[in-house]
Structure 1
Amino acid sequence: MKRVVTLTLASLLLMPAIVRGAPTSAPDRRLSPGDVSALPSFVQRVEPAIVGLRVRNAESAASSARLGSRRFGSAVIFDARGYALTVSYLLLDAIEVEARGRDGRAVPAQVVGFDLDTGLGVVKLEGAGPWPVATLGDSRAIATGARTGTVGVDEDNDLVQVTGTVNAVKRFSAYWEYMLDRAIIVAPASPQWGGSAVVNDRGELIGIASLRLGEAPHVNLAIPIEKFVPVKDELIESGRIASRPPRPWLGLYTVSMPAGLFVSELSPVGPASRAGFRQGDRILKINGVAIASQEEFYEQLWSRRAGDLIELSVQRDNQVRTISVPSVDRHRLFQVR
């Protein structure tokens, strides 16, 4: 990797000669253009810690039907022992993982753990360390307008970096029973978003790019690093956040519309697929509490624990019916191999 050497010529010219008879003019020591990196300094700081992940996933798995059985994304090394952070959907039902560093070296990697509540996953690179690591920043201080860099690699292991700004910091919910109380939205979007590092203007890791949102010009959603730092050691040791009560999961995919919240799809491995729901059912209540949005639905659902019986009132063909669903712990469906 090319290094940048910075000479403060002005200070050298102003420094008084301390040796009698020293030359009155400094020698010409101009840098060759080939020795100067075109990358912003905050990108240079995180680049050594970026790896590409090529993942082979079980072809028969439910996640492969949606995401494919051959997946590619980026990861960021955060521990010199070779632990790297990425997005969990890249690793679901993984059979084989190969990591390629910035030096072009490819090594096997093992899935260490998931946090499906936030959408993060950790892998361990095999081989002798110490590995170059990213500096973990403080995403809690990030605000709209702050400068960012989104840094990852493509399938040819070429660096892909986009300089941008924080477009918004807000709550985000999605159809697959997923919600972040605080997500970082950055623009413009990177074409290689899955698992890319999002850094601040000091090159510190403040988030992991997870999604591309909206119509062109797109934006990226980044999972704040604040969701990871307090639990990283537990995730490495246990493979999940065992100290956090497991959320109930139904596999009930929903879409918010002006008329309310509707069932859009059912996960083939979720208990809701066997409970009698139909696409187009309008969800009116959960456990007796009226809801009108996806966010309200998740708040009520997650006020219970995995294994609890969840009752939903739905409207279908102008009739209201109650459907009971035994919830499950989703982490049991996607255990670390």
Structure 2
Amino acid sequence: MGRVVRTILFWAWAWALACSGPTVLAAEEAASSQGIKRASDAVVGVLAVAVDNANSSATLGAVRQGSGVVIGADGLVLTIGYLILEADQVLLLPDDGRRVPARVVGYDVATGFGLIKSLIPLDLPAAPLGEPATVGDNDTLLVISGGEGAGISMARRVSQRPFSGYWEYHLDHALFTVPPRTDHSGAALFNLQGELLGVGSLVVSDALGPDQPSVAGNMFVPIDLLKPILDELLAQGRSTQSKRAWMGVNCIELGGEVRVLRVNRAGPAEAAGLRPGDQIVRIDGQAVDSLQTLWHRLWGGGAPERDVSLDILRDGRSMRVPLHTVDRQTTIKQPEGT
């Protein structure tokens, strides 16, 4: 079904391009069509099942579906990391209906990328890696997803800026596109030459950025973040940047205040007694007024496993909470034998 849907959409797009007027040269049309066909063929579905009692199942579910894109001739597939976090079983779903067993190669906390490798040949083309910095706001881009509900649609980048996630995550620059795609998990963002620009992570309500009108869109992790760490991911399963402190807390930023939204089960924050609704005012004596500030000061304050001090406001009362951080990787459950 995925191949049929995506093929119909691809040729509908190609017809629209061909009818776009004399300013589009025939050679450019042919090159774009070939590039997009190659890109579409490189995108596969991803089905992952988490290990028993995985901590991540509470928020992500035990069974997860999304997309990935082939980036290596040896069956190496790039996806968004939360799809394969604590995964026990992974299947790749090419358009030809196969269910190809795969193994997790790496999960990078710092970027959010996940790497999978097929256990039998995929025989699919690898997508070339593009340069997100060369994309302009008026350039036509394509979002391609794989699996049973595979689809392809046009998109436009509307901003490229920092992004801070509530789950102890920050990117110095991320790509934001419109219109939004609900099948964003691991979906691939391409230019019209078929070059991979990013991997889909979220639906957001502020695609245009802060202090701008509220417009729904998607956030993509840009592919240029993968290039310098790919060898590390293949060799170690994560980048050096991912060896950093973790509290096990979800936070939200509202009007210059950072408040606890959720405390992870059996994490350092739970052990320290943090509660939803607590406002984090300072960390190690340094003021906190944004998620970006909190995460940067957490990661830049020393070793991954160390004691930190949080000054909080709870029900109008000031409190100091000692907390012992851990390396996030040590909390991730692995399949037996891994």
Tell me if structure 1 keeps the 8 A contact 2:94–2:146: no
Q: Would the alpha carbon gap of residues 137 and 259 (structure 1) be closer, same or farther in structure 2, given more than 3 Å must change? A: closer
Deviation digits for residues 120-175 of structure 1, max 9, x if unmatched?
10000121365311011112323333321110124x2x531110100110111121
What CA distance in whole angstroms lies between the structure 2 residues aligned with 1:195 and 1:140?
20
| Partner in structure 2 of residue 235 of structure 1 | 233
1:38 counterpart SS class: helix
Percent identity reads: 32
| Partner in structure 1 of residue 252 of structure 2 | 255
Deviation digits for residues 252-285 of structure 1, max 9, x if unmatched?
2111122611111101132011102122111111
2:12 counterpart SS class: coil
Tell me if structure 2 keeps the 8 A contact 1:152–1:196: yes
| Partner in structure 2 of residue 125 of structure 1 | 118
Unaligned runs of 5+ in 2: 15-32, 207-213
Match among 304, 328, 331 for residue 330 of structure 1? 328
Which structure has the highest helix share of the two? 2
TM-score with structure 1 setting the length = 0.84
Tell me if structure 2 keeps the 8 A contact 1:144–1:169: no
| Partner in structure 1 of residue 67 of structure 2 | 74
1:37 counterpart SS class: helix
Count of residues paired in the alignment: 302
| Partner in structure 1 of residue 289 of structure 2 | 292
2:163 counterpart SS class: strand
What CA distance in whole angstroms lies between the structure 2 residues aligned with 1:59 and 1:219?
34
What does residue range 86-235 of structure 1 map to in structure 2 within 5 Å?
A: 86-128=79-121, 130-154=123-147, 156=148, 158-214=149-205, 218-235=216-233
What CA distance in whole angstroms lies between the structure 1 residues aligned with 2:327 and 2:137?
35
What CA distance in whole angstroms lies between the structure 2 residues aligned with 1:318 and 1:165?
45
| Partner in structure 2 of residue 37 of structure 1 | 11
Q: CA deviation at 1:94?
A: 0.8
Amino acid at match of 1:267: N
Highest Rg: 1 or 2? 1
TM-score with structure 2 setting the length = 0.84
What does residue range 288-327 of structure 1 map to in structure 2 within 5 Å?
A: 288-304=285-301, 305-327=303-325
Structural RMSD (CA): 2.1
| Partner in structure 1 of residue 22 of structure 2 | none
What CA distance in whole angstroms lies between the structure 2 residues aligned with 1:67 and 1:244?
24
What CA distance in whole angstroms lies between the structure 2 residues aligned with 1:89 and 1:299?
21
1:54 counterpart SS class: strand
| Partner in structure 2 of residue 277 of structure 1 | 274
Q: CA deviation at 1:245?
A: 6.3
Unaligned runs of 5+ in 1: 3-33
2:71 counterpart SS class: strand
